[in-house]
Amino acid sequence: MDAIKLLKNDHDTVEALFKRFEQAGSKAYKTKRQLADRVIKELSVHAFIEERELYPRMEKLGGDFAEMVEEAHVEHEEAKKALRALVGLIGDDPMLDAKMSALIGGVRHHVKEEEKEMFPKLRKEMGRQELEVLGGWLREARKAAPTTPR
């Protein structure tokens, strides 16, 4: 699987978790806590593999890619800060909904930028074979990825 397909699959997984969280009832404390834990894990791994494998390769391409990576790093730091804030909250803490809502907004914005701007440019620049190789590196990096925000 090429790198872009792999990353889009991650995006789809996280979006499904976000929707389940948003649809959970106001008293679904246990479900929301479990969903928050899955979101923390999925986004921590995803950010790690992008930062370790994807972004360094994009920076080497220079130009617009370097600017995209700079913005992506800022957005990742904001997301990781939001993830860290979620870690210690119990399910019935009213801040869980508020902090998750803020995280969801930021991540959706980031995903939209990646999928509408970054990925199409990257596909055009790198080509199929190079994206396949990068996909392998991303899968390998996933094995070493932390499951909590760093």
Supply the mean pLDDT for the chain.
95
Percent of the chain with pLDDT over 90: 90
Residues 43, 14 contacting (CB under 8 angstroms): yes
pTM of the shown model? 0.95
Q: Kindly state the average pLDDT of the residues 87-98.
A: 90
Residues 21, 35 contacting (CB under 8 angstroms): yes
The pLDDT-based confidence of 139 (bands split at 50, 70, 90) is very high
Q: What is the H or E stretch that residue 127 is in?
A: helix 119-144
Count of CB atoms situated within 10 Å of the CB of 33: 17
Q: Kindly state the average pLDDT of the residues 68-89.
A: 94
